[in-house]
Every structure is written in C-alpha cells, then in structure tokens.
Amino acid sequence: MKDVSVGICGLGTVGGGTFNVLTRNAKIIAGRAGCNIRIGRVASRTPREDIDMGGIPFSTDIFDVINDPDIDVVVELIGGYEAARELVLAAIKNGKHVVTANKALIAVHGNEIFEAAEKANVIVAYEAGVAGGIPVIKSVREGMAANRIDWIAGIINGTGNYILTEMRAGREFAEVLKEAQDLGYAEADPTFDVEGIDAAHKLTILASAGFGVPLQFERAYTEGISQITPYDIAHAELLGYRIKHLGIARRREDGIELRVHPTLVPRSHLIAQVDGVLNAVLVDGDAVGQTMYYGPGAGDEATASAVIADIVDVARTVSSGSSQRVPYLGFDPSALEDLGVLPMEDIQSAYYLRITAMDHPGVLAKVASILSEHGINIESIMQKESELKDGRIPVIILTHTVQERQVNRAIEELEALTDIDGQVVRIRAENFN
Amino acid sequence: MKDVSVGICGLGTVGGGTFNVLTRNAKIIAGRAGCNIRIGRVASRTPREDIDMGGIPFSTDIFDVINDPDIDVVVELIGGYEAARELVLAAIKNGKHVVTANKALIAVHGNEIFEAAEKANVIVAYEAGVAGGIPVIKSVREGMAANRIDWIAGIINGTGNYILTEMRAGREFAEVLKEAQDLGYAEADPTFDVEGIDAAHKLTILASAGFGVPLQFERAYTEGISQITPYDIAHAELLGYRIKHLGIARRREDGIELRVHPTLVPRSHLIAQVDGVLNAVLVDGDAVGQTMYYGPGAGDEATASAVIADIVDVARTVSSGSSQRVPYLGFDPSALEDLGVLPMEDIQSAYYLRITAMDHPGVLAKVASILSEHGINIESIMQKESELKDGRIPVIILTHTVQERQVNRAIEELEALTDIDGQVVRIRAENFN
C-alpha cells in the first residue's frame, strides 16, 4: 500500500512531540494504519537543535509544506487564529488533508473551514484540539452515534484545574497562579486559561460535535476562576461539593446552553476526583447514560498522540479510497440543526450563595423571604456565630435548581438591603441528575 | 444515499434495546451516518409482546436473517459460543457485515471469524462486547493508534464491582451476592461473573486490540472474588488501598501478562472511585500516558449504544465505498506479533499478605527472614495486639513489587512453619506506576 506523506507546520511543543512519536513508533503506527506514515517535510520559523531531523526537508516558510506535491496530509501546529486560518484554507485549496491541534481556529473559523474542505473533498481532523490526548471527539462523533446527547460537562483546562486543586489546601488564587507559572503550567499572560476562553473554545467544538449544531463560539459565556477564594472552596466542601472550572453544554428544545464557569460538583461524583492538570469530559446520552473520558489534556507527546490518531484515521480512510468518513461535526452537514445558544439568564442551575450579613435581628428572615419571592428554594443554609467579625457574618446558602434570571433578580434585591454588606458571591452548582 | 438495512438476531435485553434506540433515534442516527439505518428483519426464538414491531418482518429462525438478500448488516445478539459462531460464519459467507455484542464468541472464536471476514471482504465489529456502552475498543484501536500500549487495566464486570463495593460496608460476599441476584445484577449461576470468566473474555479482546497479538483466551488467568472477606477489604483500606476485581494486561518483551484477579489499587487513584455496577478501563500508552474510559458496562440501551455505534461505523464505511477501515485488532493482520501469554509465576506485582501467626516469640522475625531470603521487600506491616484471639494474631504485610514465583515459594515456606496457622491470604496490588 502507498505511503502517506505528512508535512508538519510548527515545531513547538506539540510539533516536536508529533515528530518524535511518529519517528519512534513508526513500526507500530504502520501496523495500525496499514501503510507507512512518513514525515515528508517540516516547517517552522525557528529550527530545533534538539531534534535529529535525519535528512527530512526543512523550511522556515510554512507555505512550503502546502506547496510540496509530495505531501498528502498537512499538520497545522502553529496555533493562533489568522495565520493558521490562511494556512489551512490554502492547504485545502491545494487538495491536502489537514490535521490540526488548534482549538481556537476550529471554534472561531471551523464553519468556514469545514465548508471549504467539503467542497475540496478533503478531510479536516481536530481531535487534538479538545482535551489533548483524550480521544473525546472520536468518542462523541462515533462512539456515541446512537445517542441523543443531552449534555456534556468537562474539566477541559489543565491550568485552571491545577490551580483549584492546590487552592483546596487553603492557598490563595494569586499565589498558586504564580507557582503554576513558575512550573510552566500557566502562561505569562494567563488570561486564556484562567478566564475560561481556552475552555470555551474546546466546549464550543464539543457541543457542536455532540449536538449537531454549527460552531457558535462568539455566543459562549465565560467566567473565570480568579474570584474564587479558599473560603468558598472550604465551604463548598462542607456542603459535600467541590469547586471545578467546568465547561457545560446542554441541549434544550429552544437552544443550547454553552457556558464555562466555576461550578460546585458533588464530591462523590467521579469528576470531582479529577485533580491537578488532568482533564475529564462527561457525556450524557439518552441511550448510554453517563460516560466519562479522562487523561492528560496537554503536553507534547500526549497531544501528539491525538494528532497522530487523526493522521492514522486519514491514512486508513484515504488508503481505502474513500473521503471524509465521519462528518466534521459528527452529523452530515445537511442534518445540522439551526439551534442557537441561549442567553445565560435562561439557563437552569442550582446556586451557592455567600452573603455577608450585618449582625441585625431578622436579617435571615429578610433573605429567606426575598429568595422565596423569586421562587428560589433553599437546600442547605450555614451560618456560624464564631465567624462574626466587625458586626458582619457570612451566610452560605445552597439552592435547588432554578432559572438564573430569578437568582440574578434576587441578588439585586439582596444587595440593596442595608442588612447586607457588599456583593453576594454566586457560584453555580451541578448535580448531574 | 442508499439506506443500510439491519437484521437483528436475538431479541433479549440487548436486542430489545437495540430495536428501541434504532427506532426512537432514527433521525439523529441518520444525520450522523449520512444514510437511513433501517431495521429490515428481526429474528428471535420468542417474540416480544412489549415491543411494537411496526410491520417489520419477524422470524423465529435466526438463519432467515442471514439469508434475506435485503439485509446488509447482521446484528448477532443471541449470545453463547457455538450457535453464534455458526450464525456469524454463515452471515460472513453470505457477504453480510456483522455487528456483535458477544464477548465469549470473539474471545474464543475471534481469530477464525476475522480470517473469514477478511477473505469475504466484510466488516465484523464488536465494540459492545467490551465494557458495554463505553467506546473503549474504538479508543484503543483508533484513539490510541500513535502509542505503544504498555498496559490495560479495567473494572470490566459490573456484578463483581457491585459486590465488592457493597462489601466495603462490612457485609459478607455470600450475602451481597444473594442481594445482587435478587436485584437482577447477578445470574442464578454467578460463576461467569464472580469467577472472572466474563472479565477474561473482555480482557482477552482488549489486550489483542491494544497490543496487536492474536486472541488467546485459553491462556488467560482467572481468579474470582468469592474468597475476599470484609476483613481484608477493611485492612486494605487502612493501608490506603481499595480491592477491585481487575482485568490486567501488560505487554512485555517476552510475552503478555493476561490476568483477572482481585487487586489492591491506591484509594487516591481515579479507578478506585469507580463503584457499583459501573465499568472503567485504564489504558497506558507511551505517548499519551494514562487515559481512562468510564460508564455503564451493561444494560439494554447502554449496550445498544455500542451496537449502534458499530452499525453507524459500518454504514459510514460502506456508503463511502470502502471495506473494513480499521483492522479487527487495530493492527493490520500482517503486523500482528506472535507474542504468547506469560505464565502467572512470571508476572510482577506487589502483594498483600495476611498471615495468621501463633502468638509465639520470634514469629515476626521468622516471617521477615523468609520474605527476605526470597528477595521480597516489605512496604508496610500491621499487627494489632487487640486482634489476638485463641492464641492467634493476624499479620498484614504489603510488599514491594516482586516476581510472583518468589512470593509463591515464600508462602510455601511460611505455611510450613508451625508458627503459622492455616493458609496465607495473598492478594495482588497495583500502583499503576
């Protein structure tokens, strides 16, 4: 069977990992693919002295790869939005199959890219873009094909999960962030990770592949973890919950919920036990129920594992003479539904509320009455006399499931009370029922 | 695009679930498959009054399905060995693709069946045979394609996991087994489940798909959970471990370890948290590291989810005009390695030992000296004076990793001591390092 020739664009962390694994495991990979997968060309702005290229053609211009007639599959590992978009569209135009690890590219420009690939009859694969080495796109698009997928919830940013895990020991966000930066887990500018933008890219892709709707990143809601305190983490634990930075997508009749925010999850649920830089994605289907996919969400060879799985998929499909076997978003383009993302006020959730009450008589009654007026039922309430300080005392409330709009209105009224000091802390909670 | 016509053989739990999900989710499934998947015929010894067949042809002879020229894909859900083997081989001979949920069939007759399918150029798919609704065969054969898979460890029998979970509350094996039978989690004859035979079928398949070796069920080692006591479970917990009935497959230079037995796993590891009837499979690859796949390992619609995922895979492949895209065992038949299963004496593991010592002076020294002579190092040792009863006291030892042969010899010598009463309890322990 004919060799498949791969051109690697970008030789950073993932590019280097891909080069090394393709080289080291060449025999195993050929055994699985049914043909040799050969690195035909590598391009990167800066060469890497630490990798032995063994005579493989090297360019500093990534466009050399897509113009090389020897290359069958272009592997885009340069990252970013615009340059990657240009590269991928040009590769498609040249009739190359594309494998990418670029979640931002797919979340933002995926609809355009898939349409171009469909016209050119080439494959675009993006497993490595979501949850690194975990084959969750494959599981959702293929393994769950029988199911109406109802919701997906994931810990899909390792940096944020590392920070929240370390904060359980009572440490402050800023201190752990600095440590994560020193360890290389967090970027110098941590915004993408800690504010949930990176997770929202991945969630956008997961939701579209699971529900069969176009990519709608611009309508995803993101809330970061920088406001989370060790105090709230400890009190959530007392209530039997753990705070995780979750991406949650839910399919409803009237649209989809698409949101990344700190979330209380039951400590007894398996996803609460996923600690450190690891990732996990829970998928709920109407036939199978809940399944979970767990593993490293980043790292050179872990991400390369997903990149190469896609290359093998392309090789298996191409060498059997057919084109894109699995539709880009799991559903045939003609079967995609025109379902929009819902505004956050329309979502339903349980809520953890932390209210700083003045030590006045009757304040609890006022709080309870405001919640009740907005149809909010209380599951648990905690107030400890020992925490009274400067005439203020924290009141912790866990509500039953309610519409976010109701909670927002109740919070407005609570904050207007002279018996309440400052803002109400509000963190969403999920029971996965 | 042409419809794909499916013939269902067997209308028990999984057959009924498959019928219902294919009918209920027909539109979603067609959207994913790119064509309609139509039930063309159903055959079962006994009709089911509770299912509305809606005019679909029904036979009591399963061979009607494989002889029906309208049928593209035969779904084998009758179970068992010989009748299923005959049916599947005849279906292949008639040019039908086959989807099966029958782990016993594949583990025992898989080599023969795959060879016949290869010759006839049809697909045989068996995702539902391993871990029910969890797409673990897909993850191993496709998602992990870049990796040299080093080991696989799984909780792949829900009945056994349910029993061990309940026993943590101090209940005896026999009592929980009876309850499991009353709840319908365990069969009237529970041998297949509690003695590890069912798990060994699944492990055999996982190992071959992961390592690229022929199926060798007859050489798998099985040890059941009927000898596990609440006492050992409690002491394992004190040592920081949980007892799980694991299937473990490990690839070594000289062969593969293929074994099902009760195993201590660190309580801090995610797999220790998988409770009740749920399944989970840990896969360790050289590039990706550890990934885990979790979900329901049985049940009508959960298993149907995997059956239908395979049907969609067949439909996507067939409608794109190609044949078996993914090799049966993940590797091209010509790339399969002739690696044999190792004898249990050659495996390496840590061990939990419970020794009933007579309350004689110097007995601990004798025990330690025998272990030391066999190159066995002790990680933890526990002996509580308060447990002295009738002149006997339990000594609990956790060893470092050592070859099983050494442990067996040491146990022989220990049991020969007059200072030791009865047999030494030995349970293997894994740290997943």
Interface mutation vs chain B, best among A4, A36, A142, A269, most B CBs within 10 Å: A142
Query: How many CB atoms are located within 10 Å of the residue B171 CB?
Result: 14
Q: Inform me whether the C-beta atom of residue B289 falls under 8 Å from chain A C-beta atoms.
A: yes
Measured between beta carbons, which residues in chain B are less than 8 angstroms from residue A321?
321-322
Considering the domain boundaries, does residue B341 fall inside one? Answer: no
Q: Which residues of B are catalytic?
A: 202
What percent helix, strand, coil does chain A show, rounded to 5?
40, 25, 35
Please give the backbone phi and psi of residue A138, each rounded to the nearest 5 degrees, phi first.
-60, -45
Nearest C-alpha neighbor of A224 from the set A174, A160, A158, A307: A160
> Does the beta-carbon distance from B294 to A291 stay under 8 Å?
yes
- Facing B293 at nearest CB: one of A285, A293, A307: A293
Considering the domain boundaries, does residue A139 fall inside one? Answer: no
> Does the beta-carbon distance from B29 to A145 stay under 8 Å?
yes
pLDDT in tens, chain B (433 residues): 589 999 999 999 999 999 999 999 999 999 888 889 999 999 999 888 899 998 999 999 999 999 999 999 999 999 999 999 999 999 999 999 999 999 999 999 999 999 899 899 899 999 999 999 999 999 999 999 999 999 999 999 999 999 999 999 999 999 999 999 998 888 889 999 999 999 999 999 999 999 988 899 999 999 999 999 999 899 889 888 999 999 999 988 888 899 999 998 999 999 999 999 999 999 999 999 999 999 999 999 999 999 999 999 998 887 765 445 566 656 666 766 777 788 889 888 899 999 999 988 889 999 999 999 999 999 889 888 888 899 999 999 999 999 999 999 999 999 999 999 999 999 998 877 6
Q: Which residues pair with residue A151 across a beta bridge?
A: A250, A284
* Residue B323, pLDDT score: 47
Considering the domain boundaries, does residue B159 fall inside one? Answer: yes
First to last CA, chain A: 50
Interface mutation vs chain A, best among B23, B35, B137, B147, most A CBs within 10 Å: B147
Q: Inform me whether the C-beta atom of residue B123 falls under 8 Å from chain A C-beta atoms.
A: no
Tell me the mean pLDDT in the region A347-356: 92
> Does the beta-carbon distance from B301 to A294 stay under 8 Å?
no
Q: By CB neighbour count within 10 A (0-12 exposed, 13-18 middle, 19+ buried), where does A61 fall? A: exposed
d(CA A110, CA A85): 9
Q: Do both B196 and B209 map to the same domain?
A: yes
Range of the domain at A319: 4-133+300-335
Q: Is A172's pLDDT higher than 50?
A: yes
Considering the domain boundaries, does residue B342 fall inside one? Answer: no
Q: Do both B153 and B288 map to the same domain?
A: yes
SS3 A407: helix
Considering the domain boundaries, does residue A206 fall inside one? Answer: yes
What distance in Å separates residue B153's CA from the closest CA in chain A?
A: 14
The more confidently predicted of residues A184 and B16 is B16
Using CA coordinates, name the residue in chain A closest to B128: A143
For A136-148, what is each residue's pLDDT tens digit? 999 999 999 999 9
The enclosing domain of A233 has a CATH number of 3.30.360.10
SS3 B360: coil
Considering the domain boundaries, does residue B418 fall inside one? Answer: yes
A132 has binding-site annotation: no
Measured between beta carbons, which residues in chain A are less than 8 angstroms from residue B285?
305
> Does the beta-carbon distance from B145 to A29 stay under 8 Å?
yes
- CA distance to B101, B360, B378, B412, per residue, from B419 (Å): 52, 7, 20, 13
Q: Do both B352 and B319 map to the same domain?
A: no
B residues 21-40 closer than 8 Å to A (CB): 21-22, 24-25, 28-34
The enclosing domain of B116 has a CATH number of 3.40.50.720
A389 has binding-site annotation: no
- A41 in Cβ contact with A59 (< 8 Å): yes
What distance in Å separates residue A223's CA from the closest CA in chain B?
A: 27
Measured between beta carbons, which residues in chain B are less than 8 angstroms from residue A293?
139, 291-294
- CA distance to A114, A392, B89, B116, per residue, from B119 (Å): 36, 79, 12, 5
Q: Do both B18 and B74 map to the same domain?
A: yes
Looking at this protein, which amino acid is placed at residue A2? K
d(CA A416, CA A145): 50
> Does the beta-carbon distance from B309 to A142 stay under 8 Å?
yes
Q: Do both B321 and B263 map to the same domain?
A: no
Measured between beta carbons, which residues in chain A are less than 8 angstroms from residue B306?
143, 146, 288
Nearest C-alpha neighbor of B19 from the set B28, B9, B27: B9
Q: Do both A73 and A176 map to the same domain?
A: no
The enclosing domain of B401 has a CATH number of 3.30.70.260
Q: Inform me whether the C-beta atom of residue A165 falls under 8 Å from chain B C-beta atoms.
A: no
d(CA A127, CA A105): 13
User: What residue spans of A168-245 are helical by DSSP H?
Assistant: 173-183, 191-194, 197-211, 230-238
Q: By CB neighbour count within 10 A (0-12 exposed, 13-18 middle, 19+ buried), where does B31 fall? A: buried
Kind and range of the H or E element at B175?
helix B173-183
d(CA B146, CA B144): 6
B12 has binding-site annotation: yes
- Tokens representing A390? 């400067």
d(CA A194, CA A187): 10
A residues 231-270 closer than 8 Å to B (CB): 270
| ipTM value for the complex | 0.89
Considering the domain boundaries, does residue A138 fall inside one? Answer: no
Q: Do both B210 and B289 map to the same domain?
A: yes
Measured between beta carbons, which residues in chain A are less than 8 angstroms from residue B265?
none
B187 has binding-site annotation: yes
Chain A to chain B, count of Cβ pairs less than 8 Å apart? 234
Q: Which residues pair with residue A4 across a beta bridge?
A: A37
Q: Is A337's pLDDT higher than 90?
A: no
- Tokens representing B259? 């074994």
Q: Do both A400 and A288 map to the same domain?
A: no
Pairing of β A4-9 and β A73-76: parallel
Using CA coordinates, name the residue in chain A closest to B284: A295
Considering the domain boundaries, does residue B318 fall inside one? Answer: yes
Nearest C-alpha neighbor of B7 from the set B98, B137, B103: B98
Looking at this protein, which amino acid is placed at residue B30? A
Domain edge (last residue) among A308, A335, A362: A335
Tell me the mean pLDDT in the region A223-252: 91
Number of structural domains found in chain A: 3
Q: Do both B151 and B288 map to the same domain?
A: yes
- B226 in Cβ contact with B271 (< 8 Å): no
For A371-397, what is each residue's pLDDT tens digit? 999 999 998 898 888 888 999 999 999
Q: Do both A129 and A182 map to the same domain?
A: no
> Does the beta-carbon distance from A291 to B147 stay under 8 Å?
no
SS3 A360: coil
Q: Do both B179 and B79 map to the same domain?
A: no
Nearest C-alpha neighbor of A109 from the set A197, A193, A201, A200: A201
Q: B196: phi > 0 → left, psi -120 to 50 → alpha, else beta; which? A: left
- Facing A288 at nearest CB: one of B34, B287, B295: B295
d(CA B238, CA B365): 23
Q: Is A323's pLDDT higher than 60?
A: no
- Facing A133 at nearest CB: one of B212, B291, B322: B291
Q: Do both B236 and B367 map to the same domain?
A: no
> Does the beta-carbon distance from A32 to B330 stay under 8 Å?
yes
Q: Is A230's pLDDT higher than 70?
A: yes
SS3 A48: coil
